[in-house]
Amino acid sequence: MRFIPTLVHGVIDYIVGIVVIALPFVLGLQGATRMTLVALGVIAILYSLITDYELGAVRYLRVRFHLLLDIVFAVAMLALPSLLDFPPDLRWPNYLIGVAALVLVATTEIRATGTAEHNDNKEIIQ
């Protein structure tokens, strides 16, 4: 059941990227943990910028591939606390973001109105 428009998904993408970048600073995490979370947030923003949806700056990646990258992002968020030995009381934000990302992937519409993919199909019909 896909009901979240890609425009809403795009807004959430950028917000989540910023939150993941800020997370280690807010939680006081240092070293590899901080660098990994910042890198993951930057990567999420970068692949959002090149996705073929309403908020993509360079519409290159198809929405389906973007959603696959979101799954990789979610799995990384879920695995990082164990891989990087987060303090037990600071693991929940990663788990929350990871699960929310999986839910977002499962509920986002596949095609974005106004994207290159959508416009190509419209030109064929006319």
Instruction: For residue 34, give every residue at least 6 positions away whose Cβ sits within 8 Å of its Cβ, in sequence order, or none.
Output: 24, 25
| Terminal-residue alpha carbon distance, the chain | 29
Residue 115's pLDDT is 64
Does this model's pTM top 0.75? My answer is yes
Q: How far apart are CA 47 and CA 44, in angstroms?
A: 5
* Higher per-residue confidence, 76 vs 111: 76
7-26 pLDDT tens trace: 999 999 999 999 999 999 99
Residue 125's pLDDT is 42
46-68 pLDDT tens trace: 999 999 999 999 999 999 999 99
Question: Does residue 85 have a pLDDT over 90?
Answer: no
Residue 119's pLDDT is 56
